[in-house]
């Protein structure tokens, strides 16, 4: 989006990088395992209407401001999320590791 690359990492962060020079613009840290290790972010982020959506192994889907990385909302779905979200018509779609698919309201994370 506008010269920015968004990517997740196994260090538990999602990063926003300048696409031209690779400079870090911001990062957001997700949760931690009980032993203190970070939950990895394997999903590819989806960007729509100025919001970055992604999932983490901490069972949550996150919505962050694409410009600042400030969290708008997160939703714990109670099971491992390894897939990448898709956003269409104000709905975030995500599958979990148990073969369920969720539809979330893109503006507040409510399960539809």
Model confidence at 92: pLDDT above 80: yes
Please tell me the pTM assigned to this model. Answer: 0.93
Question: How many CA atoms within 13 Å lie on the side-chain side of 99?
Answer: 0
- The residue ranking higher by pLDDT, 31 or 54, is 54
Render pLDDT for 57-82 as a digit per residue (tens, 0 to 9).
899 999 999 999 999 999 999 988 87
User: How far is the C-alpha of 93 from the C-alpha of 67, rounded, in Å?
Assistant: 22
Q: Which residues contact 49 (CB under 8 A, 6 or more apart)?
A: 106
According to the model, what pLDDT value does residue 96 have? 87
Span 88-106, mean pLDDT?
94
CATH value of 4-105 in 3.40.50.2300, 2.40.128.630, 3.30.420.340, 3.10.20.440: 2.40.128.630
User: How far is the C-alpha of 4 from the C-alpha of 25, rounded, in Å?
Assistant: 9
Render pLDDT for 5-15 as a digit per residue (tens, 0 to 9).
999 999 999 99
pLDDT-based confidence at residue 1 (cuts at 50, 70, 90): low
User: How far is the C-alpha of 37 from the C-alpha of 60, rounded, in Å?
Assistant: 16
Q: Domain segments of the chain: what residues?
A: 4-105
Render pLDDT for 22-52 as a digit per residue (tens, 0 to 9).
999 999 999 888 899 999 998 899 999 999 9
Span 90-105, mean pLDDT?
93
């Amino acid at each position: 989006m506008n010269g920015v690359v968004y990517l997740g990492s196994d260090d538990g962060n999602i990063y926003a990088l300048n696409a031209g020079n690779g400079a870090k613009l911001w990062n957001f840290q997700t949760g931690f395992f009980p032993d203190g290790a970070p939950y990895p972010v394997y999903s590819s982020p989806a960007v729509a209407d100025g919001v970055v959506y992604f999932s983490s192994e901490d069972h949550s889907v996150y919505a962050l401001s694409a410009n600042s990385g400030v969290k708008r909302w997160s939703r714990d779905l109670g099971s491992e999320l390894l897939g990448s979200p898709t956003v269409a018509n104000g709905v975030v779609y995500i599958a979990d590791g148990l073969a369920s698919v969720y539809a979330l309201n893109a503006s507040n994370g409510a399960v539809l």
